[in-house]
Amino acid sequence: MANENSSSPTRGADGRIQVPGSDMHPDRKKTLRDYLKGQTAGSDDISTANEFPIDGASDRDISNANPDGTPVGPDIIQQAQPHFSLNNEARKIFNDISSGAFFDVNPDTGNQIQTIAERTGIDDEPGLKNDQKFGHQAGTETYVQTVSEQVSSVLLSNRFSPPQVADETQLEFEQRNQNTIDNQKYFGDPSLTNQETRRKMAKLGVESAIAASGFIGRDPVDIEKEGLSGIWAQTFDTFNISDLANIGNGNYGIDNNVGDRLRDGTRRISEKAVLPTREWLERDSEIEVDLKYIDSEGRPSENGEIGDKENHAYTVMNSMISQFIQEELFTNRQYINGLNFMAATFIQNILLAAIFDALLALELAVQKEVRQNLRSQYDNSPVQMARGKARGNYVPLSDLVGGNSSKAGDIMELFGLPNVKDLFNGPALVEFILNFMGINKPIQAKTNLVVAGFKLGDFISFVPSYLIGSLQTTISALKDPMSAGFFFNLGRQIARKSALEAAPSPQGGALEYIRYFFDLRDQSGFRFFVTMVNLGDNAIGQFFAKWENYGGPAILNETKIAWGASSMSPASVTATPSMFLIPKSFRNFSQEIESGVVDAEGNFVSGRSLNGTGDTDQFFNPEGNDSRIDGATAALLEEKLNSEYMPFYIKDMRTNEIISFHAFLDTYSDGFSATYSGITGMGRIEPAHIYESSQRSIGISFTMIAFSEEDMDMLYWKLNKLVTLMYPQFSKGTQLIGPDQKKFYMPFSQIPTASPMVRIRIGDILTNNFSKASAARMLGVGYDEGPKIVTVDATQTRSGNLQSLIPGGGDSNKAIMQRRENFVKSLTPTVDPFVGPMTLSMQTNVNFVSQGDIVRIRMNNTKKRTGKIITRQAGLVPATIKPTLGIGIPNNVDVNSESKSTNVGLSTYSYTPDLFRIIGFEAKPTTVGEGDDKQEIIDYSNIKVWLAFFSQGTTTRNGRAVDTGDYASPTRVNTIEKLYKKSRNKPDGLCFWVPMTDIMGIEHATSPDPEALKFVQENTIVKAFENNAGEGMAGFLDNLQLDWQLNTLMWDTTPGRRAPQGCKVTLGFKPIHDITPGLDADGFNRAPVYKVGNLSRSIHKNGNLNLKTDSPGAQ
Amino acid sequence: MTQERPVSDKKTNEKKFKSFEEKILDQFPEDFKPDYKPQDFDAVNDTAQEIIAKTGVKEIFKKMMIEESDKKGFDIFWDALVEKNAEKFHQLREGLKDDELRRELLKKMIEAGKYGKRK
């Protein structure tokens, strides 16, 4: 380095740096920044005005392009800029300043240390901008230097540009200084002399300037003469389809018009690319170094080698620059290239997927047994499999050996001899293919791919898996256009090593095919294919698993409800909506004084919609003189917020306004304290504590950050709203009548009225602890002497009605159907929309059967007639649907007889029936009518009754329990065992449905007593809550601190927004529980404050307290 | 829950200032939905062109381009490439229709796959 002799500057006795020569002029004592700022402003004179003023404000065209489109050279730029011109006083001043204060001096001489120019000895060579020295002597007339020259010299002296001895060749230099040159790619040519090296450096600067200037490339070539140009030429060439005349037997030949459009496109692409052209560089006679670079068409220089490191560096640089100058993100070259190569990969691989599908399909088409075997693996009926009972790879025993000689198969297993069929059966074949390809199993893609009447698509299909996987990947990749360059290169690598190579000739026989397929596996394109298939397969599998195991779209509806709508919106990352009140009086006021805050339509001028929709913040505009947002609207918004990922909002109870936050929760503390009074008594030293009161105190701090101007607006709007929560609501004041009989309110007569009560909600951890259930408990529901909501009827009172739904002697079908219709019409869906597959959402309004009733059902021993049990998922074995065999009342038992017994021979069998609880009803919605009359109605004619197991029946013979007969069959035992197990079939573990006609009678019927229900639903506690409802915890803020995070957060500097772009808010909160926590008289938790988890939440379950008391059945 | 005024999903006001991410999303085709489903196809009898056409992917790619000339170029590129690959595909599949040939190939595949999934 040049300053290898450096040491600290010379300092005087006062410790100040001694500057050789005279003291600086006072003007020169200005800071360098002030000085340059003043100088670079330039004048209005075109010859001296600065082309690139520091503040960026220039009303003149600052293009550095010549009329012919080529960029102007650096000389012109220098002359146009005063601080760059050679005879400028400012430069001398700068050099004066810099000559002493900013550079190290030699302690012996007091002068600046040796310069590069001095060391290299070529300082007097004219013409090169980098051939100057810097330092103390640079301030003299002889060595005047511009600022840019000095900067250039720093470039030359950095580690990439080690000084060389004059006339030392690069080779000699490298040998002398191997370590420092190792990383230097630019000077890779050992034949270059020092001077040439410097010219290269000079040219590098020029090229960078051109690249940054947005140079417009040369005109597109004539497509008729030279073929396709630019990006498409490159693309077509890559895939060897550049012979356009022959593409598609000439059908794809490009006519003149198309050619024009292509040219236009190419030209536009070229115009938007930031690339130096060789034409321009080569026309500059002063710079003769033969550089390698990418030309305006995106091709490497003819003098360069493809893959050359320099080319690569240019490509990377240009790609980086081009990302920032594109007007349209989706038109840049890298993006289009990325699409092309991903498309090419797609075409090749989707056909490869089809080949593997065809391979299996063809084999399965000719082998009926193999097809059947594949099917039997997925059949629900029990099939005895070879090698034990495991499904999977093994054939059904009957298939393996045929007929009834099943033992032969067992013997073969015993010897461990594989049967040919065993190896070549359907599932094994599929698995072997998957193993061969290296693909995870199972393939979950389902299509309607049918082979010889066999729906192969149920079991395996590569095409959809690849399709989904690759599309997901491509779209995910390309929706980030900034990474287009990466995917361009990736796609190119894959597409060039195409999976679908030239096919072997069928005449070459099996060997060629075998070689082809085995070679295939080693290609990188094939590995990409496998990855995409696995990805797609997983995606499909997850989709179906979610669909099947979690209730299809219903669960999605529950987790995300669009504002004011019931359609689902799975993307849950949205702005959380708040709602603020803009009362009528303010709108009137604003319009009267024409403040422009509210426009002619009454919209609050904020860029936000008034009573708007969507996921953004809302301004609520009541029609009347309401000073509150109505409860229903606020509740609707709370419902919406409940479906957010993590609800966090504050509701002002005075106005029902809701302030919700997208914020970072920093701290959250929650503490309880109890106060006791101590009483000391005779003989006791310690006071006895007597409970007085409890208090809960909550601390919350969170950080809000604005990411946009809109955010900034709303952030401060919300902060202002937060401040109002520390102050009361005022009254209107005292009304007076002025001289002209005009009414007005006396200023400062307003007095505080409503206290700022709020409800704060944070997830499920900070919520209200109210529930109708807990409120009902406070009324004494559940105590022997308390109100009774539900009446338990004897069976007989209602079984008659139920029986009327079952065909009996003498009934006409029409009459039965009519009665059934009446029954089902009495069912009311309690959730809308009504969706399958299982909806526990209906209630009867008349005295038939209701949710909660305990019923007996008919026993079924055939698969078709009965209801179905959904067995639980065990490990990898998915949940399956089984018939409910063997449970219920045997068919030969007279269910209406008192004894419930039957005589068989000399024995008398007595039965206690299995009992089941009704947990819901299900009916399919069907579409009727067409066009405008089209509507969905619930098809009640085929209603299913969902049951959960209640109790197991018993059988006795002559008074003694027996284990024979219908009530002890293996199927029954099996079914009962399953019924006891838990499954994912919420809400009550394992359950199943039966047709309504299978219900033989009601053991216990429950129905709410309307009067009692009304009492517990509409008492003062509930009403008080409903008037002030909200999901959050009620209470008062007693502390609000705002920390503007000065060393962390950015400030907005635009006028009117000169404030931090965020802040940290700390709140102190004193909650008031809706139901004071504690134990009830019987020692049970009155109302858990943390409604988290199934156990704690279950206490708050409302059950039939949610029933409407005004429904017909409740009257 | 009752709803007192009609609301809809439609936003009433266009946002004036859009984030970078929103600008990108704006350039995506409106009808590009994630719930795209493939059509049925016949891997044995459909031509390569038919199989690829049934996936509908070409249109998806084209929707991701803005310039008409790029779309046209892509059209030609896609069709030509499909045609080129179709030839290989049909030839390959014809061979697989030979039962003997296919059986030999499958045996080798079984041999290669019997020790588990290829890593």
Q: Which residues of A touch B32 (CB under 8 A)?
A: 475
Interfacial A residues in 400-429 facing B (CB < 8 Å): 423-424, 428-429
How far off is chain B from A817, nearest CA to CA, in Å?
A: 34
Asked whether A525 and A350 are in contact (CB, 8 A), the reply is no
CB distance from A273 to chain B under 8 Å? Answer: no
Give the C-alpha separation, A656 to A834, whole Å: 31
Report the pLDDT averaged over residues B88-111.
86
Q: Which of B28, B40, B44 sits opposite A479 (nearest CB)?
A: B28
Higher pLDDT, B119 or A1057: A1057
Q: Between the ranges A64-78, A144-158, A901-915, B72-86, where is the mean pLDDT highest? A: B72-86
N- to C-terminal Cα separation, chain B: 56
Check CB contact under 8 Å for B65 and A481. Answer: no
DSSP string of A59-104, one letter each residue: -S----B-TTSPBPPHHHHHHH-GGGSTT-HHHHHHHHHHHHHSS-
pLDDT of residue A410: 55
Under the banding of pLDDT at 50, 70 and 90, the label for residue B25 is very low
Reduce the secondary structure of A498-530 to three states and give it as a string: CCCCCCCCHHHHHHHHHHHHHHHHCCHHHHHHH
CB burial class (10 A; 0-12, 13-18, 19+) of residue A498? buried
Residues of chain A numbered 199-218 and touching chain B (CB < 8 Å): none
Nearest CA in chain A to B28: A479
pLDDT grade for A722, boundaries at 50, 70 and 90 = very high
pLDDT score, position A652? 93
- B63 to chain A: which residues are within 8 Å by CB? none
Interface touch A447/B77, C-beta < 8 Å: no
Q: Are A615 and B14 in contact (CB under 8 A)?
A: no
- What is the 8-class DSSP label of residue B38? P
Among A679-688, A804-813, B74-83, where is mean pLDDT lowest? A804-813
Return the minimum-mean-pLDDT range out of A17-21, A215-219, A352-356, B35-39: A215-219
CA distance A1073 to chain B (A): 25
Of the residues B15, B105, B107, the best mutation for testing chain A's interface (the one with the most A CB atoms within 10 Å of its CB) is B105
What ipTM did this prediction achieve?
0.76
Residue A1035 bridge partners (DSSP): A758, A1071
Label residue B91 by pLDDT band (50, 70, 90). Answer: confident
| φ, ψ of residue B107 in degrees (nearest 5) | -60, -45
Contacts with B, A 311-330, CB within 8 Å:
328-330
**Contact in structure between A1070 and A1038 (CB atoms under 8 Å):** yes
Please name the residues between 119 and 178 in chain A that touch chain B, using a CB distance below 8 Å. Answer: none
Q: Which helix (H) or strand (E) holds A762?
A: strand A757-762
B52–A709: do the CB atoms touch at under 8 Å?
no
Which range, of A154-163, A387-396, A465-474, A1033-1042, averages the lowest pLDDT?
A: A154-163
Considering only CB atoms, B27 lies closest to which of A329, A464, A710, namely A329
Q: B17 to chain A: which residues are within 8 Å by CB?
A: 708-710
Q: Is the pLDDT of residue A996 over 80?
A: no
Contact across the interface for A563 and B7, Cβ inside 8 Å: yes
Q: Are A503 and B88 a contacting pair at CB < 8 A?
A: yes
pLDDT digits (tens, 9 = 90+) for A203-214: 554 444 343 333
Bridge-based pairing of strands A827-829 and A842-844 is: antiparallel
Q: What is the pLDDT of residue A398?
A: 57
How far CA A751 is from CA of A586, A656, A733, A835, A1038, in Å, comes to: 19, 21, 7, 54, 20
Q: Are B105 and A510 a contacting pair, CB within 8 Å?
A: yes
Q: What pLDDT is recorded for position A256?
A: 33
Residues 495-524 of A with CB under 8 A from B: 500-506, 509-510, 513-514, 516-518, 521
* Cβ contact A566:B3 at 8 Å: no
* B20 contact residues in A (CB cutoff 8 A): none
Contact between A514 and B70 using a beta-carbon 8 Å cutoff: no
Q: How far is B60 from chain A (nearest CA, A)?
A: 9
Contacts of B74 in chain A (CB under 8 A): 336, 339-340, 343
Of residues A882 and B81, more confidence is placed in: B81
Shortest Cα distance from B67 to chain A (angstroms)?
Answer: 7
A748 pLDDT higher than 70: yes
Among the listed residues A860, A981, A854, the one whose alpha carbon sits nearest the alpha carbon of residue A919: A854
pLDDT of residue A106: 46
Among the partner residues A363, A501, A633, nearest to B4 by beta-carbon distance = A633
Q: What is the mean pLDDT of residues A516-529?
A: 82
Distance CA A608, CA A209 (A): 44
A669: which 2 tokens? 């503390």
Contacts with A42 (C-beta within 8 Å, 6 or more apart), sequence order: A48, A49, A50, A53, A81, A82
Asked whether the predicted pLDDT for residue A769 surpasses 80, the reply is yes
Contact residues, chain B, for A620 at CB < 8 Å: none
Mean pLDDT of A1096-1102: 81
From residue A440, how far is each of A444, A456, A750 by CA, in Å? 10, 18, 74
A1036 in contact with B, Cβ within 8 Å: no
| Residues listed for chain A | 1115
Distance from first CA to last CA of chain A, Å, rounded? 99
A43 Cβ partners below 8 Å, 6+ apart?
A49, A82
Mean pLDDT confidence for A65-91 = 43
Handedness of CA A1055, A1059, A1062, A1065 (dihedral sign): negative
Torsion, Cα A249 A255 A258 A260, to 10 degrees, reads 140
Contacts of A630 in chain B (CB under 8 A): 4
Contacts of A509 in chain B (CB under 8 A): 101
What CA–CA distance (Å, rounded) separates A123 from A145? 12
Answer yes or no: are the C-beta atoms of A121 and A141 closer than 8 Å. Answer: no
Query: Hey, what's the torsion of the CAs at A706, A711, A713, A716, to 10 degrees?
Result: -50
Q: How far apart are CA A856 and CA A135, in angstroms?
A: 104
Chain A residue with the nearest C-alpha to that of B95: A506
Tell me if chain B has a CB within 8 Å of the CB of A537: no
**Torsion on CA atoms A27, A28, A33, A38, rounded to nearest 10:** 50
Percent of chain A with pLDDT over 90: 7
Please classify residue A669 by burial: count the beta carbons closer than 10 Å to its beta carbon, then call 0-12 exposed, 13-18 middle and 19+ buried.
Answer: exposed
pLDDT for the residue numbered A797: 40
| Residue A708 touches partner B, C-beta closer than 8 Å | yes
User: What is the pLDDT confidence band of residue A1067, given thresholds at 50, 70 and 90?
Assistant: very high
Arithmetic mean of pLDDT, A925-929: 72
Residue A1026 in contact with partner chain B when CB distance is under 8 A: no
pLDDT of residue A1041: 94
Closest CA to A998 of A952, A947, A954, A951: A947
Q: How far is B2 from chain A (nearest CA, A)?
A: 6
Residue with tokens 């938007």: A272
CA–CA separation, A565 and A643 (whole Å)? 13
Q: In angstroms, what CA-CA distances link A474 with A348, A484, B79?
A: 15, 11, 19
Number of A–B residue contacts, CB under 8 Å:
286
Report CB contact under 8 Å: B61, A563: no
Give the span between the Cα atoms of A869 and A704, in whole angstroms: 51
The predicted structure's pLDDT at residue A474: 76
A727: which residues sit within 8 A by CB, 6+ positions away? A756
> Starting from the edge strand earliest in sequence, which strands make up the sheet with A688-705, in order?
A618-620, A579-581, A657-660, A648-652, A757-762, A1033-1043, A1062-1071, A688-705, A664-679
Report the residue of B12, B62, B64 to disrupt the A interface, i.e. the one with the largest count of A CBs within 10 Å: B64
Q: Is the pLDDT of residue A759 over 90?
A: yes
Of A964, A856, A953, nearest in space to A907 by CA: A964
- Answer whether A359 sits within 8 Å of B99, measured CB to CB: no
A47-61, A489-503, A649-663: which has the highest mean pLDDT? A649-663
Residues A557 and A568: their CA atoms lie apart, in Å, by 5
The answer to whether A1019 and A770 have CB atoms below 8 angstroms apart is: no
A264–B contact, CB cutoff 8 A? yes
| Six-digit token string for A64 | 């550095």
CA-based nearest residue in chain B for residue A430:
B110
Prediction pTM value: 0.41
Q: Token pair for residue A667?
A: 């701290």
Checking if the pLDDT of A52 tops 50, the result is: no
Among chain B residues, CA nearest to A709: B17
What order do you get walking across the sheet with A999-1008 strand by strand?
A: A790-793, A999-1008, A854-857, A915-928, A935-951, A991-995, A868-870, A881-883
Residues of chain A neighbouring B78 (CB-CB closer than 8 A): 343, 347
| Residue A576 predicted with pLDDT over 50 | yes
Least confident of A7-21, A443-457, A693-707: A7-21
The full 3-state SS of A986-1036, as one line of letters, equals CCCCCEEEEEHHHEEEEEEEEEECHHHHHHHHCCHHHHHHHHCCCCCEEEE
Q: Which residue is it, tokens 């140009």?
A: A229
Alpha carbon distance A229, A295 (integer Å): 13
Which is it for the CA torsion A161, A167, A171, A177, positive or negative? negative
The overall average pLDDT reported for chain A is 63
What is the rounded distance in angstroms from the CA atom of residue A146 to the CA atom of residue A138? 10
Contacts of A501 in chain B (CB under 8 A): 88
Contact A262 B69 (CB under 8 A): yes
The answer to whether A292 and A309 have CB atoms below 8 angstroms apart is no
When pLDDT is averaged across residues A358-381 and rounded to a whole number, the result is 73
Length of chain B, in residues: 119
Distance of residue A716 Cα from the nearest chain B Cα, in angstroms: 17
- A444 in contact with chain B, both atoms CB, cutoff 8 A: no
Question: CA-CA distance, A763 to A670, in Å (whole number)?
Answer: 14
Residue of chain B minimizing CA distance to A616: B11
pLDDT at B17 over 70: no
